[in-house]
């Protein structure tokens, strides 16, 4: 049965006021990001507009044994993404505040925001948007007013006084009205994913539980089936964020042009990765990516220290209102465990990646230096790799990135 979350009148009013007070657009559509059309391994300057902060009615979701345990209304405030001292291709930083239904501060944190890509969308009523996607990760700190474990505070927070989340944020600019809309997700998965052994914050804390924040709450269903990823396409890109090592730490990141790529993704199985449930919330798949400049990304194996199957994704839900951004769109949290052979250096690294899959939504087209281009397939898979300060692959804690993966099928 279709069961869509309903917001109360007060939340609707607050969201309408927040939208009306959004900052004016600082860009005209389409605005290319200057990352396509270059030669292999050449550098470029990233071009992005100024993104406003936003306040939005959202959901706090607690999963148990791969099924829904509980959810509650929250309000999120995402701050303006600000560049740090690591250059235009380094991660931006956004402060996040999450308030409970009574208005009390429930969570606060800082998110590293790695730019992923931009595209053009045509809405249900022929309105047009340009969308910019960021992949995010960082620590959130729970506040006492929220309650106690196991739901909705992860029990690991008692050990570390913080919880690492990963996910994404989309900023969508209405090209006619200049108003902004947003969709986003943050997830802290079960111990097998977010407390993996041999890395910081390892341990057994919540083996059958995962935690998700998602917005907007409007029309978001937690009970509809969410299709998994399955397909291949040559309409892809991978991109390196070039970094140098300074005294054992990552130096100033520099943008490189996108490398055209093709991929094949083949489902292996659906099952419950977290706990003892029978729900097939998780999908395992084989993934291979080949780039035009020689980059090759394949699933890691036991010999290279694999922790996970090549590609995993977790079903979260579906936005069901075709008249409200992002339209009728499915949402999945994803991660990968890869051997990444860099086409520019010839070096192969074992790496982990985290990101998001969105399925459907409004019809999408490419944006390039020449304007709006060809149609994009409706399944968007976006990931960034997870590196520590020394440039080595890392799990369980906030990370930096040197590789962006953008796939469609």
Query: In this structure, is residue 131 part of a structural domain?
Result: yes
The reply to whether 345 falls in a domain is yes
Judge whether 133 lies within some domain. yes
DSSP state of 8: -
> CA angle 15-138-269, nearest 5°?
90
C-alpha distances (whole Å) from 264 to each of 290, 297, 402 are 9, 11, 22
Q: What is the pLDDT of residue 303?
A: 85
Domain assignment of residue 346, given as a range: 9-408
Phi, psi for 8 (deg, rounded to 5):
-85, 170
For residue 42, tell me if it sits in a domain: yes
CA–CA–CA angle 375, 34, 216 (5° rounding): 60
User: Domain total for the chain?
Assistant: 1
> What φ, ψ does residue 10 adopt, rounded to 5°?
-65, -40
Per-residue pLDDT 10s for the chain (409 aa) are: 333 443 333 333 343 334 333 333 445 799 999 999 999 999 999 999 999 999 999 999 999 999 999 999 999 999 999 986 556 787 899 999 999 999 999 999 999 999 999 999 999 889 999 999 999 999 999 986 556 667 878 999 999 999 999 999 999 999 999 999 999 999 999 999 999 999 999 999 999 999 999 999 999 999 888 999 998 888 789 999 987 655 555 567 889 999 999 999 999 999 999 999 999 999 999 999 999 999 999 999 888 889 999 999 999 999 999 999 999 999 999 999 999 999 999 999 999 999 999 999 999 999 988 899 999 999 999 999 999 988 899 999 999 999 999 999 9
Residue 331 three-state SS:
strand
Residue 184 lies in a domain: yes
Residue 2 located in a structural domain: no
User: Is residue 1 domain-resident?
Assistant: no
Sequence-ordered strand ranges (E) for 311-400: 311-319, 329-341, 348-360, 363-368, 371-376, 379-385
DSSP letter at 283 equals E
Tokens of 97: 């505040």
Q: Return d(Cα 391, Cα 389) in angstroms, integer.
A: 5
Predicted local confidence at residue 282, as pLDDT: 97
Beta bridge partners of 215: 184
Between the alpha carbon of residue 15 and those of residues 6, 8, 21, 52, the distances in Å are 14, 11, 10, 15
Neighbouring-strand partners of residue 134: 115, 169
pLDDT at residue 223 in the model:
85
- Taking the C-alpha atoms of residue 185 and residue 135, their distance in angstroms, rounded to an integer, is 10
Q: Are 163 and 137 in contact (CB under 8 A)?
A: no
Write the burial class of residue 265 (CB in 10 Å: 0-12 exposed, 13-18 middle, 19+ buried): buried
Count the residues in the chain. 409
| Tokens of residue 260, six digits | 């055209």
């Amino acid at each position: 049965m279709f069961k869509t979350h309903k917001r109360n009148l007060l939340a609707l009013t607050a969201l309408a006021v927040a939208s009306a007070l959004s900052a004016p657009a600082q860009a005209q559509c389409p605005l290319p990001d200057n990352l396509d059309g270059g030669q292999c391994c050449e550098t470029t300057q990233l071009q992005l507009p100024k993104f406003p902060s936003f306040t939005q009615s959202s959901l706090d979701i607690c999963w148990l044994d791969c099924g829904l345990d509980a959810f509650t209304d929250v309000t999120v405030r995402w701050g303006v993404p600000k560049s740090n001292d690591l250059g235009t291709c380094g991660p931006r930083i956004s402060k996040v505040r999450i308030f409970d239904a009574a208005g009390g501060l429930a969570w606060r944190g800082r998110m590293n925001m790695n730019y992923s890509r931009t595209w053009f969308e045509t809405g249900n009523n022929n309105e047009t948007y340009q969308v910019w996607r960021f992949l995010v990760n960082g620590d959130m700190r729970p506040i006492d007013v929220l309650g106690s474990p196991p739901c909705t505070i992860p029990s690991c927070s008692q050990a570390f006084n913080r919880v690492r989340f990963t996910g994404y944020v989309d900023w969508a600019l209405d090209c006619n009205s200049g108003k902004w809309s947003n969709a986003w997700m943050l997830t802290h998965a079960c111990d097998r994913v977010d407390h993996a052994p041999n890395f910081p914050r390892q341990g057994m804390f919540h083996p059958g539980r995962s935690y998700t924040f998602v917005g907007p709450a409007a029309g978001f269903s937690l009970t509809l089936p969410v299709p998994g990823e399955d397909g291949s396409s040559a309409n892809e890109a991978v991109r390196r964020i070039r970094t140098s090592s300074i005294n054992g730490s990552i130096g100033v990141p520099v943008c490189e042009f996108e490398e055209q790529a093709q991929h094949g993704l083949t489902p292996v199985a659906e099952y419950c990765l977290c706990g003892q449930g029978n729900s097939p919330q998780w999908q395992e798949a084989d993934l291979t990516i080949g780039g035009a400049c020689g980059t090759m990304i394949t699933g890691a194996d036991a010999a290279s220290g694999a922790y996970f199957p090549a590609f995993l994704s977790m079903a979260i839900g579906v936005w069901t209102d075709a008249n409200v951004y992002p339209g009728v769109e499915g949402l999945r949290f994803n991660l990968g465990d890869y051997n990444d052979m860099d086409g520019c250096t010839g070096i192969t690294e074992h790496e982990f990646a985290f990101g998001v899959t969105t399925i459907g939504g409004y019809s999408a087209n490419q944006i390039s230096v020449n304007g709006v281009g060809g149609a994009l397939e409706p399944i968007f898979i976006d990931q960034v790799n997870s590196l520590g300060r020394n440039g080595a692959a890392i799990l369980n804690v906030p990370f930096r990135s040197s590789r962006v993966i953008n796939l469609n099928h």
